[in-house]
Each structure stands twice: as structure tokens, then as C-alpha cells.
Amino acid sequence: MAKWHDYLGDQVAARPDARALRDSGGADWTYGALDRAVEALGAELVNAGVQAGDRVLILAENSAAAVAALFACSRMAAIAVPVNARQTPAEIDRIIGHAAPAAVLFTSAISADAQDHAARMGASEITGDFGRMHIAARAGDPDPDLREVAVILYTTGTTGTPKGVMLTHGNLRFGGLTSARLRGMTLEDEVYGVLPMTHVFGLASVVTASIYAGVPIRLEARFSAARLYAALTSGVTLFSAVPQMHALLMQYTKEQGYDRLPESRLRYTSSGAAPLDPAWKRKAEAFYGVAIQNGYGLTESTAGVSATRNALGDPDISVGPPLPGVQIAIDEGVAGGGDGTGEVLTKGPHVMAGYFRNPEATAAVLADGWLRTGDLGFIDARGHLNISGRCKELIIHGGFNVYPPEVEAALNDHPQVIQAAVVGQMVDGDEKVMAFVQAAPGDEPEEEALKTFAADRLAGYKRPARIVIAHELPAAPTGKILKHRLLEHFAEQLS
């Protein structure tokens, strides 16, 4: 059966001297060089005692070495567990305790955080065709039943034991192939890889898709609006991001004195992980000069469920029709109000194998091949999926359902708002709508002015009781706002 790493093998056989990737640490590798790095790291893992069925934790930030580590695990039938090095020691130790890896690899040459974790764990330095890394061997616990699992990705949680999403070789191959075809990737393209490959969007839709298509990747360890601006004006043609990255890039470009992105080769850009609103979409398309495509997916679905293929100027703000081979259904019995809205279910070759060593959690979301996403949505007359919000984020205020994306969209229309996030807070037995907006220093709107602005766009029961204005909102390494931290993070402003 075909494996995930076979995509790399195909490129090595056909185009060994073609550029594969370069990173912000100075690595600039052909496919042949990447292949040699994979072999060298595989040898180091064998020396550390790693066997087929073992887990290998990769504490990383985006880099050529991290890509090599992922494929080295795949070739030796070990399971890669990529984890963002920016997580805290406590978060990483919880994952290590659950994953029970036989070894931990650290991309210490490009990540100061990875270097610190390596020192904390007493790791040894290794060098080779992969550059410089660190490795810490541990007592292995191989599991032969995991032979079809390629990676385990741990989802962001608020408390308790983290959940490890098991993605198979077939999942990743499907995700990469589908993403490449959706974007129409050719050998003339160059991909900007700032979405962390320790998360499914960056791993499947950026890295795997690019390797499948033979398209070089420009990897960035951390997001920087300035570096993104430089990349988009110097050859990058494909850029996938979360809305927050788009917003910060537009703000940076404005500070440079431009209303839109200067001359570039960009031909495809997309937004994921949060809904679009019409005004923001029009603004972004005017900025880029190309259509903003939207998509929907989650870790448990190897990123992709649906995506748009819209022309420039199309007002569609859905997340598009199902991807080829993917099925979607709506369970109106969950938070449904008789209007066709309910929990989104999906089925197909993109659905995970389950949660690692957690059969109860697996059974709660998987049945007969269908995955319960935990997201609310509906299918419109065109057959496009529209996401209303998270089941658990639905706000019930005064007996009415309030979907945070709708409130966020209204606030994002304001010219001084970079981005907004909305959550519910229980006050005296009722959930209040609480909004948090990011604004540029020196260009902050007043809370009352924003409330008045929102009142013109939202029914009374949807209007925020409070709007907190800040220069930064708590965010994951992907740039996605961590909504579960907002109330605690801004507790003083809310008191």
C-alpha cells in the first residue's frame, strides 16, 4: 500500500536537482538534498533505538529539518508526533506522557524554544545532512496496530488530557493530493509556508500538497507581516493563511503607505479556520487583486472538508462545496432551530482513524465512518456549506441563539478593527455577548463608538454587552485566536 513518504520518493526519482524547500534559517535544499537528510535522520533514530510502531515526538518550528524528520519517521514505519516548540514545558510534558515516544527530536538550530526544551530534557546534539538538531532517547513502547498511522497531532485543549488525532498514510496522501489539485499547483509555483507544520493545515495543505506537486516551499519559522510582505513581492505565488494573518499583512502594508499589495506573482490565496464576512472579503480581494478562497476543515478531517473555487468579486462567503470524494451531512437535532442549521457531519478518506489510546472520545465523534465535527452549519441552495459557529461556542442570550461569527463580522467591518473575537459569559443566569477586538496602537476606536457601530448591523439580542479593545489577542502559533482564554486574559478589563 502506498505510503505518505512515497510522494517524496516520486520527486527524488524524477527531479532530484529541483528545489524542494528553503527556510528562514538559511537551508536551501533540492529534493536530492532532502532525501539525504531524511536518510541521515533515519539512521540517527535507529541509533536511538526507535522501531516500527514507535512514536517520535518532533518539537519543531517550520524548517527544512522538521520536514526531514517527518519523512524519516514515515520511511521507518514510526509515527511522527509533531508538536510546536512554542508550547510550554507543562503542555509538552502532558503530550509526552500520553504519546509515550521512543525519542524526541528538536529543531534546535532554528528555534530557541526547541533549544531550551532540548536542554531541559538533557538531549544530545546531532549533526549531518539535516544540519544541526538535538535528540533525546526514551523507553519505547511500539504498537504494531498503528502500522497505517503516519502522524499523531495533538489538538489544543483547555484542560485535562490532550487528544491525539491519528492520521493515516491514506489521510495525508488524500489531503495533499486534493489540496494540490484544488489550487492548480504547477512547477512554476512557489508556496509560502508560514502555517505551522505541527498543525494539520500546514502539514497537509501546505507541506504535503507541495511535495506531491513538486512545488518549492519557502518556510517561515514564525509569522511576521514584514517577512510575508517581502515574500509576496518577491516570487511567492500561493499563500494559504488564517484571517488574522491577512489582517496583519494589510495593516503592515497600510503602514508602508500602500492601499494594496504592490506588484507580485501571487495567483492564489485562501483563508481558513474562521468565517469570512462580505465587507472583509471585498477589502481583501481589492488588496490582493486575486480572489480570496475560503475553506473548512479540522484536524480530525486532515484539514479539508470543503473549499470554494470562486472568481474574483464573487460575493460567496460560504466554505464551498464538498471536496472530491468527501460527503457532508447536517444533523439538525443538534442546536437546530428548524432553519436547516445543525451539526456538520462528514465522511470520506479524509476522516481520522481515531484518537490515540482514547476509545471513548473516538466513539463520541465517529460512527459508521461519519465524523461529528462539533461545528454548526447549513447547506445553501448552491450545495455550499456555510459554517455558523462551534456547537460549544453557541451563545444563548435571552433565549435566542447568537452565532459569534455573525457578531465578529459586524465588528470587523469597522475600519479601525484589525480582527474581532466573540464569546459568551454567564452573568446572572444568562449568557452575555462579550467582544474582543484588536486595533493598531494609536488608532484605537472607543468602546461606545463600536457599540453604536454594531447596533446598526445587529439585532438587539446579538449586540455585545462589552467590547474590550486591545493591541493583541491571545493566539495559537497558527495565528488562530484562542477564544477559551479571552475571558481570563482580559479579566481585569471586564471587572
Q: Which residue has the higher pLDDT, 5 or 476?
A: 5
CATH class of the domain whose range is 223-390: alpha beta
Given a cut of 90, whether residue 123 has pLDDT beyond it is: yes
pLDDT (average), residues 428-448: 89
Phi and psi torsions of 249, nearest 5°: -65, -45
- Cβ atoms of residues 393 and 402 within 8 Å: no
Q: Which residues pair with 21 in a beta bridge?
A: 29, 217
Pick from 207, 220, 243, 211: which is nearest to 419 by CA? Answer: 243
Given a cut of 80, whether residue 467 has pLDDT beyond it is: yes
pLDDT category of residue 456 using cuts at 50, 70 and 90:
confident
Three-state SS annotation for the chain:
CCCCCHHHHHHHHHCCCCEEEEECCCCEEEHHHHHHHHHHHHHHHHHCCCCCCCEEEEEECCCHHHHHHHHHHHHCCCEEEEEECCCCHHHHHHHHHHHCCCEEEECCCCCHHHHHHHHHCCCEEEEECCEEEEEEECCCCCCHHHCCEEEEEECCCCCCCCCEEEEEHHHHHHHHHHHHHHHCCCCCCCEEECCCCCCHHHHHHHHHHHHHHCCCEEECCCCCHHHHHHHHCCCCCEEEECHHHHHHHHHHHHHCCCCCCCCCCCCEEEECCCCCCHHHHHHHHHHHCCCEEEEECCHHHCCCCEECCCCCCCCCCCCCCECCCCEEEEECCCCCCCCCCEEEEEECCCCCCEECCCHHHHHHHEECCEEEEEEEEEECCCCCEEEEEECCCCEEECCEEECHHHHHHHHHCCCCCCEEEEEEEEECCEEEEEEEEECCCCCCCCHHHHHHHHHCCCCHHHCCCEEEEECCCCECCCCCECHHHHHHHCHHHHC
pLDDT tens string 212-237: 999 999 999 998 999 999 999 999 99
Given a cut of 90, whether residue 117 has pLDDT beyond it is: yes
pLDDT of residue 157: 44
**Mean pLDDT over each residue of the chain, to the nearest integer:** 92
- Fold topology of 395-494: GMP Synthetase; Chain A, domain 3 (3.30.300)
pLDDT of residue 72: 98
- Cβ atoms of residues 472 and 481 within 8 Å: no
pLDDT tens string 332-379: 887 655 678 899 999 999 999 999 999 999 999 999 999 999 998 999
pLDDT tens string 386-424: 988 777 777 878 666 687 888 898 898 899 999 999 999
pLDDT of residue 431: 84
Of the ranges 133-142, 231-240, 361-370, 427-436, which one carries the lowest mean pLDDT score?
427-436
pLDDT of residue 63: 98
Q: How far is CA 137 from CA 53, 143, 146, 174, in A?
A: 15, 17, 20, 32
Q: Give the rounded percent of residues in the chain with a pLDDT score beyond 90.
A: 73
pLDDT tens string 170-201: 999 999 999 999 999 999 999 999 989 999 99
- Cβ atoms of residues 166 and 312 within 8 Å: no
Given a cut of 70, whether residue 451 has pLDDT beyond it is: yes
Phi and psi torsions of 401, nearest 5°: -80, 130
pLDDT of residue 172: 98
pLDDT (average), residues 44-62: 97
pLDDT of residue 273: 65
Extract the C-alpha cell encoding 8: 517524496
Domain ranges of the chain: 6-170, 223-390, 395-494
Given a cut of 70, whether residue 254 has pLDDT beyond it is: yes
Extract the C-alpha cell encoding 41: 535522520
- Cβ atoms of residues 58 and 66 within 8 Å: yes
CATH class of the domain whose range is 6-170: alpha beta
Indicate if 223-390 has the same CATH topology as 6-170: yes
Extract the C-alpha cell encoding 266: 501571487
pLDDT of residue 113: 94
